[in-house]
Structure 1
Amino acid sequence: MATILITGASDGLGRALAEDLAADGHRLLLHGRNPQRLAQVAAVTGGETFTADLSSLAATKQLAADIRARHRGLDVLVNNAGVGFEGGSTLRETSADGYELRLAVNYLAPVLLTRELLPLLREGTAARVVNVASVGQQLLDFDDPQHEQHFTQADAYCRSKLALISHTVDLAEELAASGITANAVHPATFMATTMTRKSGMPTQEPLEKGVAATRRLVDASELAGTTGAYFHSEDEAQPSEPDALTTAYRQRLAALTQSLLAAAGV
């Protein structure tokens, strides 16, 4: 039985994944913003709940501290929580730290949470980090990292998700000697979730497909030791923007990330 943290577990893919894992007796740590919805998931799965708004980096760091205070080890971290987009919307929103919202929640928060939970992951058994990404991918504009020019929510979402894939490769290299693996996955395309409904896009693939693809990275024995990979559902793939995996891009992204986290005091 593994101890598994799922962020964004109160709805959609996160909730469905929690229910699937609970059926096999895993010990679940459930994160969400809405305590009422989170309690409903806990009632079904027996999971332990943690409430935090990941649009605040201070709250993200506190979430990690709360988990460290209650647990001595963590076997799997599933960074699933995210902010989607409304199709065609040019409404630019900012986080509690003043950063573009999707960059903050979809990228900076999982980077910070993973960093803060590494002590627990190092105590886990062949621990795994699973970053939920997307097939929607765009390179960051390092001259406009906060996406203040020509903004659309869809573009911001795609930028944040490709950044997460790039970071996953760096994380895998950083942890290579530790036994901890890190992989990214596009679970399925426009699943039947709240995020898809808000996007205005029609459902294309079943939620069950996304659950299966994500679950495979969580505990499939055949993927033990696989690290630094991006999966399109269950198939290992390459990002649509190959430059995102180059050393030069990843170094610029890492420097930007460090500066943004430092400026937010975390």
Structure 2
Amino acid sequence: TSRLDILINNAGIGTAGQGAKRQVSADGYELRFAVNYLAGFLLTSELLPLLKASAPARIVNVASAGQQAIDFSDVMLTRSYDGVRAYCQSKLAQILFTVDLAEQLKGTGVTVNALHPASYMNTTMVRQARVTPWSSVETGADAILNLATSPTLNGKSGLYFDGLRESRADAQAYDAKARQQLRSLSLDLIGPASPTSKEQH
């Protein structure tokens, strides 16, 4: 039978600079919210039954220290768009999802944690933003692998790490009402795609 021991949600689009125009996904959602957050939310929802059947299993959400509170009156940033804001909001959404999912997964043997791997790693995303890289990709990879494999994290869930150190995310991540709002919105946006998501709804 198939197993899934570790799921790492790492796909992302950067800020693309201040002057970037607002872009949308094929579904018409603001692109950074769709790619950086909603895609991982949907994929994780679809894979939860397999992860639970494979327990102990781990989910790692690769977020960022760049975080801005979600404005639930304009999540898709239709009123005033800014690429940096779009990126930072999408990354905080990942962390709200991490804390929320950790509560739902209590007792299943599946843990979920998020991290900022390293600042301005030498990646295409950073180079496209015309930033001189500060960190190596290897530094970031080590931090991600720590969450994926370290025995010291057995059973630990709902945490946010800055590199190898446990840290605190933006205050909105610890607001139960905001997390519930994001979950409801996300389930509405992905629609009937996922049997698991319908169950959670």
- The alignment's TM-score, normalised by the length of structure 2, stands at 0.93
Distance apart, 1:123 and its partner CA: 2.1
The within-5 A match list for 1:33-44 is none
Residue 248 of structure 1 pairs with residue 177 of structure 2 = yes
Corresponding position of 2:47: 117
Instruction: Give the CA deviation at 1:150.
Output: 1.7
Contact kept in structure 2, 1:129 and 1:182, CA below 8 Å? yes
Matching residue of 2:60: 130
- Aligned equivalent of 2:72, options 130, 134, 142: 142
Answer yes or no: is 1:257 the counterpart of 2:186. yes
| 1:65 paired residue number | none
Q: Tell me whether 1:197 sits opposite 2:127 in the alignment.
A: yes
8 Å CA contact retained: 2:99, 2:173? no
- Measured after TM superposition, the shift of residue 153 of structure 1 is 1.2
TM-score, structure 1 normalization: 0.70
For these two proteins, the number of residue pairs brought into alignment is 194
Aligned partners of 1:247 and 1:138: how far apart in 2? 17
**Alpha carbons 1:87, 1:154 under 8 Å: kept:** yes
Higher RCO, 1 vs 2 (CA within 8 Å, ≥6 residues apart): 2
CA RMSD in angstroms, aligned pairs only: 1.3
Give the match's secondary structure for 1:191. coil
Deviations 1:20-78 (A, max 9, x none): xxxxxxxxxxxxxxxxxxxxxxxxxxxxxxxxxxxxxxxxxxxxxxxxxxx62100000
CA shift for structure 1 position 265: 5.1
Amino acid at match of 1:247: A
Q: Which runs of 5+ in 2 are unaligned?
A: 195-201
Aligned to 2:102: 172
Matched, 1:183 2:113: yes
The correspondence of residues 61-100 of structure 1 with structure 2, limited to 5 A, is 72-100=2-30
Gaps of at least 5 residues in structure 1 are 1-70
2: CA distance between counterparts of 1:265 and 1:122? 19
Deviation (angstroms), 1:122: 1.4
CA distance in 1, matches of 2:113, 2:12: 17
- Do the aligned partners of 1:85 and 1:198 also contact (CA within 8 Å) in 2? no
